[in-house]
Amino acid sequence: MKFPLIAVSTSVTVDKYPERAYVNASYLNAVQQAGGVPVPMPPHLSPAARAELFKHVHGVLLTGGGDVDPARFGETPHPTTTEVSTARDTLEIELTRWAVEKRLPLLAVCRGLQVLNVALGGSLYQDIPSEPGSPLDHSQAGLQGKARHIPTHQVKVRDGSRLAGILGALEVDVNSFHHQAIKRLGQGLADVAWAPDSIVEGVELGEPDQFVVGVQWHPEELVGNDRAAFNLFAALANRARELS
């Protein structure tokens, strides 16, 4: 069996010394459980190093993390905006557009979904509690940021969508760690899953033969006991394997 190389975006420390690039091990484990080889791609790579990696990877995983800079979609920052990294935004938007152009499979998780949306010309709600406003806790504050594998709300998925086919379900229980969310959809994206408060929880590129899927929750934390979560990474790896 071939083991496709999956580019995995990394988080970065902001205004801390020493500066670090890092990624939660759950992403790396999920990719490997699905039969892929994770290749961390930090924003500190030179253009030449990026170009070389681009030649060899077969798929892309955009991970969670800090906020996307509101300037990327023409807005000033909300008071709650945090951990903005210009270097990370730049790399991930470039990586997204490259993957879409080259028709490489792409899975976007949490912040990754937001990056995907902005890279394709969409915009974001900067802070769900204040805009659009919702009583639903999308940050699992009641669990104090712990127990990341515990689902806290349900998501409904559009019947007939690629995402529904991958998950094997039209309703899933999800974990949730975000305060930004999709406002205006990026070009070519379709919203295909929603939280009970109508916040978009899943998107996919409209072209049926191109694998570009984004989810607002964190399936990497659920793969050990949630088949639907595992299916997302398996679908990415299987599509990437076709290109390896």
Catalytic residues: 110, 218, 220
Residues 6+ apart with CB under 8 A from 160: none
User: How far is 166 from 188, CA to CA, in rounded Å?
Assistant: 20
Instruction: Give the DSSP per-residue string, the chain.
Output: ----EEEEE-EE-SS-SS--EE--HHHHHHHHHTT-EEEEE-TTS-HHHHHHHHHH--EEEE---SPPPGGGGT-PPPTT-----HHHHHHHHHHHHHHHHHT--EEEETHHHHHHHHHTT--EESBTTTBT--SS-TT-GGGTT--TT---EEEEE-TTSHHHHHHT-SEEEE----S-EESSPPTTEEEEEE-TT--EEEEEES-TTS-EEEESS-GGGTTTT-HHHHHHHHHHHHHHHTT-
What is the chain's alpha carbon radius of gyration, rounded to the nearest angstrom? Answer: 17
